Amino acid sequence: MSEKNPYKYNGDTLILENITDNNTNKSVYIESYGCAMNFSDSEIVASILSKNGYKTSDDMYNADLILVNTCSIREKAELTVRKRLEKFNKVRKTNTNVKVGVLGCMAERLKHKFLEEEKIVDMVVGPDAYKDLPNLLEEIEDGKSAVNVILSKDETYGDITPTRINSNGVNAFISITRGCDNMCTFCVVPFTRGRERSRDPQSIIKELNDLSEKGFKEITLLGQNVDSYLWYGGGLKKDFSKASEIQKASSINFAKLLEMCALTQPKMRIRFSTSNPQDMSIEVIKIMAKYENICNYIHLPVQSGSDNVLKAMNRQHTRKEYLELVENIFKIIPDCSISHDMISGFPDESEDDHKQTLSLMKKVKYSFGYMFKYSERPGTLAAKKLEDNVDEKTKSRRLSEIVDLQQKHSLFRSKQFIGKTVEVLIEKESKKSSSHWAGRNQQNATVVFPKKKFNVGDFVNVKVNDCTSATLVGEATGYSKNN
Residues making contact with ligand F3S (CB under 6 A): 180, 182-184, 187, 189-190, 224-225, 276
H helix and E strand count, the chain: 14, 23
| Backbone phi and psi for residue 123, each to the nearest 5 degrees, phi listed first | -150, 140
- State yes or no: residue 375 binds ligand SAH (CB under 6 A): yes
Q: Which does 158 bind (CB under 5 to 8 A by kind): ligand F3S, ligand SAH, none?
A: none
Name which of 223 and 439 has its Cβ closer to ligand F3S: 223
Name which of 74 and 354 has its Cβ closer to ligand F3S: 74
Asked if residue 258 lies in contact with residue 221, where contact means CB atoms within 8 angstroms, the answer is: yes
Binding residue for ligand SAH, selected from 171, 220, 253, 276, defined by CB under 6 A:
276
Name which of 183 and 403 has its Cβ closer to ligand F3S: 183
- State yes or no: residue 310 binds ligand SAH (CB under 6 A): no
Name which of 56 and 224 has its Cβ closer to ligand SAH: 224
Q: Which does 99 bind (CB under 5 to 8 A by kind): ligand F3S, ligand SAH, none?
A: none
* Angle subtended at Cα 102 by Cα 193 and Cα 183, rounded to the nearest 5 degrees: 20
Name which of 98 and 230 has its Cβ closer to ligand SAH: 230
Residue whose CB is nearest to ligand SAH in the complex, by number: 341
Name which of 101 and 194 has its Cβ closer to ligand F3S: 194
* Residue 275: Cβ within 10 Å count: 22
Q: Environment class of residue 226 by beta-carbon count within 10 Å: exposed (0-12), middle (13-18) or buried (19+)?
A: buried
Measured between alpha carbons, how far apart are the two ends of the chain, in Å?
48
What is the distance between the alpha carbons of residues 413 and 419, in angstroms, rounded to a whole number?
A: 13
What is the distance between the alpha carbons of residues 217 and 427, in angstroms, rounded to a whole number?
A: 10
Q: Which does 343 bind (CB under 5 to 8 A by kind): ligand SAH, ligand F3S, none?
A: ligand SAH
Q: Least distance from C-beta 240 to ligand F3S, angstroms?
A: 17
Asked if residue 210 lies in contact with residue 256, where contact means CB atoms within 8 angstroms, the answer is: no
Q: Least distance from C-beta 1 to ligand SAH, angstroms?
A: 38
- State yes or no: residue 374 binds ligand SAH (CB under 6 A): yes
Q: Least distance from C-beta 300 to ligand F3S, angstroms?
A: 12
Q: Least distance from C-beta 225 to ligand F3S, angstroms?
A: 5
- CA-to-CA dists, residue 423 to 81, 101, 441, 463, angstroms: 38, 42, 6, 9
Q: Least distance from C-beta 105 to ligand SAH, angstroms?
A: 10
Asked if residue 464 lies in contact with residue 419, where contact means CB atoms within 8 angstroms, the answer is: yes
Give the interface segment with ligand SAH, choosing from 116-124, 207-215, 371-379, 450-458 (CB under 6 A).
Answer: 371-379
Q: Environment class of residue 142 by beta-carbon count within 10 Å: exposed (0-12), middle (13-18) or buried (19+)?
A: exposed
Q: What letter would DSSP give residue 294?
A: B
Name which of 27 and 274 has its Cβ closer to ligand F3S: 274
Q: Least distance from C-beta 314 to ligand F3S, angstroms?
A: 8
DSSP, collapsed to helix, strand or coil, labels residue 212 as helix
Beta-carbon contacts of 142 under 8 Å, excluding residues fewer than 6 positions away, are: none
Q: Which does 422 bind (CB under 5 to 8 A by kind): ligand SAH, ligand F3S, none?
A: none
Q: Least distance from C-beta 41 to ligand F3S, angstroms?
A: 15
| Backbone phi and psi for residue 396, each to the nearest 5 degrees, phi listed first | -65, -40
Name which of 42 and 274 has its Cβ closer to ligand SAH: 274
Site for ligand SAH in 37-96 (CB under 6 A): 73-74
Asked if residue 367 lies in contact with residue 443, where contact means CB atoms within 8 angstroms, the answer is: yes
Binding residue for ligand SAH, selected from 88, 372, 449, 454, defined by CB under 6 A:
372
Q: Least distance from C-beta 26 to ligand SAH, angstroms?
A: 34
Name which of 376 and 429 has its Cβ closer to ligand SAH: 376
Name which of 377 and 409 has its Cβ closer to ligand SAH: 377
Q: Which does 50 bind (CB under 5 to 8 A by kind): ligand SAH, ligand F3S, none?
A: none
Name which of 38 and 56 has its Cβ closer to ligand SAH: 38
State the alpha helices, DSSP H only, in 376-416.
Answer: 381-385, 392-415
* Angle subtended at Cα 268 by Cα 272 and Cα 258, rounded to the nearest 5 degrees: 40
DSSP, collapsed to helix, strand or coil, labels residue 320 as helix
For 105-226, strand residue ranges (E) read: 123-125, 146-148, 171-175, 177-178, 197-198, 218-222
Q: Which does 223 bind (CB under 5 to 8 A by kind): ligand SAH, ligand F3S, none?
A: none
Q: Which stretches of the chain bind ligand SAH, using CB under 6 A? A: 73-74, 186-187, 189, 224-225, 274, 276, 301, 303, 341, 343, 372, 374-375, 377
